[in-house]
Amino acid sequence: MQSSESFGEEQEFRVRKLELSDKSKGFIELLQQLSLCDSVSDKEFEDRFRELSSLGDDHVICVIEDPGSGKIVATGSVFIEKKFLRNCGKVGHIEDVVVDSSARGMNLGKKVIGFLTDHARAIGCYKVILDCSLENRIFYEKCGFKQKEIQMVMYFI
Amino acid sequence: MQSSESFGEEQEFRVRKLELSDKSKGFIELLQQLSLCDSVSDKEFEDRFRELSSLGDDHVICVIEDPGSGKIVATGSVFIEKKFLRNCGKVGHIEDVVVDSSARGMNLGKKVIGFLTDHARAIGCYKVILDCSLENRIFYEKCGFKQKEIQMVMYFI
């Protein structure tokens, strides 16, 4: 795996894996900038954290902590889908990428995507995919992605 | 969970979960109609089958077997992603839906999608998503989906 040190010269803004203590560093508040997320109790957070940790390399959440404020200012996740297709191939699915509104323009999003795609490649995926809004297409193209299909959704609640 | 019996009156074409013996019933050949899939050895198939089975309800592959020929004529999968977003919510991801070219027009695709979305709903997902080509949009709209975002992809091989 590529280490987080290699993602540019801003050594202070390093990408690392989510830790249990990140809940108190604004991780949930950061997710709220992306989508609905009411308060999550410490117990709920810990349970989900341990559930995801048990999946090991098959589900990785990364974060960037602002070394000045100690706040989590960027995050993203990737999980590994195992298929029969493509000779029992694997696909990385990137989800929940968000950069704090106060930390835009510092290439943190690109660092997060680099970390997640490197992980998917290292784990042996033949591709990595994600869904995004039309307005975010250019950002992902700069990260090396190409538009392919359309996303369909059915909400239950 | 809704049982497979409730998906219409064609009782003979029932949706059920993938079984190990389905490899000899043309399951891999069916996937080849969707994307690249060279021959998969019995050992590779069994290993992947057991790996996915160990995930229980978090990764379900369903099939429809033609009671006349004994061949697998439709399949689809859904896996459950666990998030922190949406109050530690869950999302169903539908993948690898394909109906045999000789069995089109019998609503088998709709049965497969019904089975997979019912599973995601029963397991407590707040939504289920999938990626498809523009030309398949109308089919999924008839299944109750709506177009939302775009899919971006990065190939490694």
pLDDT digits (tens, 9 = 90+) for A92-120: 999 999 999 999 999 999 999 999 999 99
Higher per-residue confidence, B115 vs A35:
B115
Which helix (DSSP H) or strand (DSSP E) does residue A152 occupy? strand A146-155
Tokens of A63: 């974060």
User: What is the spatial distance between Cα A61 and Cα B42, in angstroms, rounded to a whole number?
Assistant: 34
pLDDT at A11: 53
pLDDT tens for B24-71 read: 999 999 999 998 877 899 999 999 999 999 999 999 999 999 999 999
User: What Rg, from alpha-carbon coordinates, does chain B have?
Assistant: 16
CB contacts < 8 Å between A and B, how many?
193
Higher per-residue confidence, B38 vs B154:
B154
Say whether A84 and B127 touch across the interface (CB within 8 A). Answer: no
Say whether B88 and A127 touch across the interface (CB within 8 A). Answer: no
A45 vs B contacts (CB less than 8 Å): 84, 88
The complex scores an ipTM of 0.91
The dihedral over CA atoms of B34, B35, B40, B42, expressed in degrees to the nearest 10, equals -20
A37 vs B contacts (CB less than 8 Å): 84-87
B116 vs A contacts (CB less than 8 Å): none
B90 vs A contacts (CB less than 8 Å): none
- What is the mean predicted confidence (pLDDT) over B100-121? 96
- What is the mean predicted confidence (pLDDT) over B85-95? 96
Higher per-residue confidence, B94 vs A3:
B94
Lowest average pLDDT, out of A16-20, B83-87, B149-153, goes to B83-87
Residue ranges of domains in chain B = 2-142
End-to-end Cα distance, chain A: 39
pLDDT tens for B61-81 read: 999 999 999 999 999 999 999
Higher per-residue confidence, A17 vs A87:
A17
Q: Is B108 helix (H, G, I), strand (E, B) or coil?
A: helix
Say whether A151 and B131 touch across the interface (CB within 8 A). Answer: yes
CATH class of the B2-142 domain in this structure = alpha beta
Q: By CA distance, what is A23's nearest residue in B?
A: B84
Mean residue pLDDT across chain A: 92
User: What is the spatial distance between Cα B99 and Cα B76, in angstroms, rounded to a whole number?
Assistant: 9
- What is the mean predicted confidence (pLDDT) over A1-9? 46
Say whether A156 and B121 touch across the interface (CB within 8 A). Answer: yes
Does residue B6 surpass a pLDDT of 60? Answer: no
Say whether A40 and B150 touch across the interface (CB within 8 A). Answer: no
pLDDT at A2: 46
